[in-house]
Amino acid sequence: MIGIIGAMEEEVAALKEEMQTEEVKEIAGMTFVKGVLCGRDAVVVRSGIGKVNAALCAQILASEFGVGALINTGIAGSLDARIDIGDIVISTDALYHDMDASKFGDPVGQIPRMDVFSFEADPRLVELAKEANQEANPDIHTFTGRVVSGDQFIADAEDKERIKNNFDPLCTEMEGAGIAHAAYLNGISYVIIRAISDKADNSASMDYPAFEKQAIIHSVRLVKTLLSKMTEKGM
């Protein structure tokens, strides 16, 4: 069973429409749609925005539905000059850019008393997602690297530089690390897929509305192709 999480309804609506729905379950204010998607048993859900919503959603998928893998799809702001609007970022790992216990001697981003600094994505899923994007969106560039999350929409150049200097990530968003954290604690695979909808700088307010819709289309195509490839590989 695969859990597919999007923060906003727009990010999962198209996937729900294509599912052969078997069950719809309401838990913690979230609607979990279980069925078959692209030949795979899956649960598709809108988590809501933010790290807590995302982590809670991932935990429910693990505890209530017994998923063995989590795919987080959505949009993000670029933090790398090479990555433009419309490109796809696939996570190699994820962490919180707004975790700061440095006064106690921990590096910024480190969760105190936790045995890892960042949460590593499943390398097999990363590679398959990369292949899937090249197939599903051949005109779209694919990047793999670190994704950082925080309860902030990053639209200021100064904030962008601070996050880049601290963590060297490819993009920033508001849910992925919460899902990665839950996946790590539950011992299940995950990958974050992000279509870039803005440059995470002072142009964000101008770019975001214009490119959000197309970015979501790219993500949905990628997820559907990834599910098919996971079946081919017996994952």
User: Residues with catalytic annotation?
Assistant: 11, 198
Does the CA dihedral 60-4-81-86 come out positive or negative?
negative
The DSSP code sequence of 165-209 is: HHH--SEEESSHHHHHHHHHHHT-EEEEEEEEEE-SSTTHHHHHH
The Cα–Cα gap between 118 and 212 comes to 28
176: nearest Cα among 60, 57, 37, 82: 57
177: nearest Cα among 44, 72, 29: 72
Q: Where are the beta strands (DSSP E) in the chain?
A: 2-6, 20-27, 30-37, 40-46, 69-78, 88-96, 119-120, 142-149, 171-173, 189-198
Which residues, in sequence order, are bridge partners of residue 20?
A: 36
